[in-house]
Amino acid sequence: MELRNAVSKETLRKYLLTSSAEAIPQARPSLLSCFTNAENPKPQLQDRLSAAGEALESCSETALQSWFDPLEILLDQEAGTLAVRFPHAFFGIRFSSLFQKLFEKKARELWGKGLSITYGAGKFTPSPPVPFVQPAPESRQDALHPAVANPMPFGEEWTFDTFIGNGKHKWALSLARDITRRAVYRATHGRAPSLDDIGEAPGLLVLCGPHGTGKTHLLRAIGNELFRTLGSDLYYASLSDLELLFAGRSVLAARQELLSKEAVLIDDFQHLSRIPDKTPTTASRFRAQIVAEPEQPAGPSVREELCLLLDRFMDQGKPVIVAGVGRPKEWSLGKALLSRLETGLWAELPEPDLDVRLRYAQQQAKFRRLPLSREQLLLIAQHCPDVRRLSGVILRVASHRSLLGRDLSEQDLLNIVRQGGDSSALTPQLIVSIVGEHCGVPAKEILGEKRRPDLVQARQLAMYLCRELLGHSYPVIGRMFGGKDHSTVMHGVKKIKLLQESDRLAHSMVTELTKACLEHRG
C-alpha cells in the first residue's frame, strides 16, 4: 500500500487501525515522513511503527473518535519532541484526566523513552523557515515599537473621547491632552518640545480629587495614547506595583528599570501614606491573600526613589503623571517629595453631577449593548454618587442579563441598584478561589507559572472574570497573575469569549462561574 507524504492524520489513523501487520512495513517511510518531513526516516523508528499500530488497534473505534481524532500532532525527530494540539482548552482538561497517560506511553514506545511531549490548544500554523532581516524603520515611532498588536492595552473604553465631563473638567482634560502631546513629541523627535513646538505643556501632572471622579480614566487614556508611540518604553503602575518593583529586585536594577522609560504613570498615589520610609515589602500582596507567605525583608525608601525619578525626568524633559484620591498635601508625601510635586500642575477633578452621571451611564450601557431606557439609566445615575459605583452597577446589570438570558425587569434592576455597584465584596482573590474550586486546581497554582492545560484554562477563566465582573484593565490583571504581560491577559480573555461562542461546555462553565461570583456575599 502506497501512502503519500500529504496523507492526512485521519487516513493514517484508519490505516493503522485496519491494516494488517504485513501491510504496515511497506508504508513506514511515507507514514513517518508525514510527521517528520524526513526523506529517509531512521530504521529503528520504522520498526516501532508496527508496535504503535498494534497499540492503536487495541483501542476501540469509539475511543479513537473521542480522544485521538481531534488531536493535531507534530514530531520533530531531530529534537526528540512531539507537540500535541487540542481543538480547545476544555478538550485538554478531559484528555489530561482520561487519556494522557496512555497516549504518552504509546508515543514513547514508538519514538523513544526520551521523547518530550508538549501540549497546547489551537491549530498549528507551520511556515517554512526564512532568513531574518531587520527592516529599517520608517520613523522613530516604528523604531520604538514596530508592531503594536493592541494599541489600547489599558482598555479600549478608556480614551479622551470617551471621558464624560462638563465645563468643570475642561482644565484637567486639557492638561491631560497637553502632556500626552509633549511625551509623543519627545519620543518622535528625541528632545523635549519648546514653547514654539507645541505651546505650553506640563512635564509633571497631578490628577487628584474624590473617589470616582475620573482620575483613573484620564490616566488610562493617557496610557493608551502614549502606548501607540512608546510601547514598552511606557511605565504604568499603581503605587503598590511600584513598591513591588523595588522589593522584587535590587535597588539599582529597579531604579534603572524606571529611569530607562520615556514616560511614567502612577495611580493610587495616596497610598504612599501607608508606606514608611523603610518598610517591610508588601510584594505579592494579592498572592499572599490566597496563600500564606512569610513577610519579606525591608525594602528601600520609595519616597527617595520617587524624588530621584522626578529629578531625572524633569531634567530630561520626560513626563510623569500621578493620580490619587484627595489632595497631595493629604498624602503624607514628606517635604522633599511634596515640594517636587508642587513644581508641576495639579488638576482636581470634581464630583460628577447628575448630568455627568447620566451621560456616563448612557455611554456604558451603549458600550456593553444594554437595552436600558432613559428612565432606567436615570434610576441608576440617581442612586450612584460617583462613576466608579455607577460602573459597578452597569457591570452587574450586564452580568445578570447575560446570566438570565433576557432583559431585566424593573424589580430586577431595582434590586441590583439597591445592592450597589461597590464590587468590594467580590475581589480578584475570591474569583481565583471560586475558579480553583470549580476546576479542581489549587488557587496558588492558578497564580503560578505552570503550563498544564488544566491550569492554563483555569487561569484564563479567572482573568476573564476579573475583566468582566470587576472591570480591571489588562495590565492590572497581568500584575495580579504573577506579572503576566497585558497581551497574555488579552489573549486569555479573548480565548474564553470565543470558546463560549463555539463550545456549549465552555459557555455552561462560564455561566456557572459567573453565577457563583455574583451570588457571593462578602
- Output the pLDDT for position 260: 92
pLDDT of residue 339: 94
Q: Please tell me whether residues 247 and 293 are part of one structural domain.
A: yes
pLDDT of 388 above 70: yes
Model pLDDT, residue 417: 82
Q: Choose the final residue of a domain: 121, 148, 168.
A: 121
| Domain closes at, from 348, 381, 396 | 348
Average pLDDT over residues 207-218: 92
Confidence band for 78, pLDDT divided at 50, 70 and 90: low
Q: Is residue 305 part of a domain?
A: yes
Does the reported pTM lie above 0.75?
no
Distance separating alpha carbons of residues 484 and 190, to the nearest angstrom: 30
Higher local confidence (pLDDT), 331 or 522:
331
Q: Are residues 344 and 369 in the same domain?
A: no
Q: What is the pLDDT of residue 477?
A: 86
CA 127, 130, 132, 136 torsion: positive or negative?
Answer: negative
Residues 284 and 326 occupy one common structural domain: yes
In this structure, are 86 and 194 located in the same domain?
A: no
Cell of 466: 476579573
Q: How many CA atoms lie within 13 A of 25 on its CB side?
A: 5
Q: Is residue 131 part of a domain?
A: no
Q: Please check whether residue 220 is in contact with residue 265, taking contact to mean a CB–CB distance below 8 angstroms.
A: no
> Does residue 238 sit within a domain?
yes
Average pLDDT for 224-233: 89
* Same domain membership, residue 512 and residue 479: yes
Phi-psi group of 321: left, alpha or beta (phi > 0 → left; psi -120 to 50 → alpha; rest → beta):
beta
Mean pLDDT of 108-134: 56
Here the CATH number for the domain that contains residue 15 is: 3.30.300.180
Instruction: Give me the domain span that covers residue 493.
Output: 423-518
Residue with grid cell 484627595, as numbered in its chain = 326
In a domain, 190, yes or no: yes
Domain limit, last residue, from 332, 348, 364? 348
Looking at the structure of the chain, the number of domains it has is 4
Taking the C-alpha atoms of residue 234 and residue 232, their distance in angstroms, rounded to an integer, is: 5
pLDDT, greater one: 470 or 354: 354
CA distance 359 to 126: 49
CA 328: distance to chain centroid?
A: 31
Chain centroid, CA 160 distance in Å: 22
Query: For 245-270, what is each residue's pLDDT tens digit?
Result: 777 677 888 888 899 999 999 999 99
Same domain, 457 and 411: no
Evaluate if residue 38 carries a pLDDT over 70: no
Of the candidates 310, 156, 139, which has an alpha carbon nearest to the alpha carbon of residue 223? 156
How far is Cα 135 from Cα 257, in angstroms, rounded to an integer?
27
Domain CATH code at residue 365: 1.10.8
- Same domain? For 327 and 222 the reply is yes
Q: What percent of the chain has pLDDT over 90?
A: 22
- Do residues 195 and 326 make contact, with C-beta atoms less than 8 angstroms apart? no
What pLDDT, on a 0 to 100 scale, did the predictor assign at position 169?
Answer: 92
Distance, in Å, from the CA atom of 19 to the CA atom of 21, rounded to the nearest integer, reads 7
Pair (301, 414) in one structural domain: no
User: Both 207 and 336 in a single domain?
Assistant: yes
Q: Are 51 and 109 in contact (CB under 8 A)?
A: yes
Residue at 146 is within a domain: no
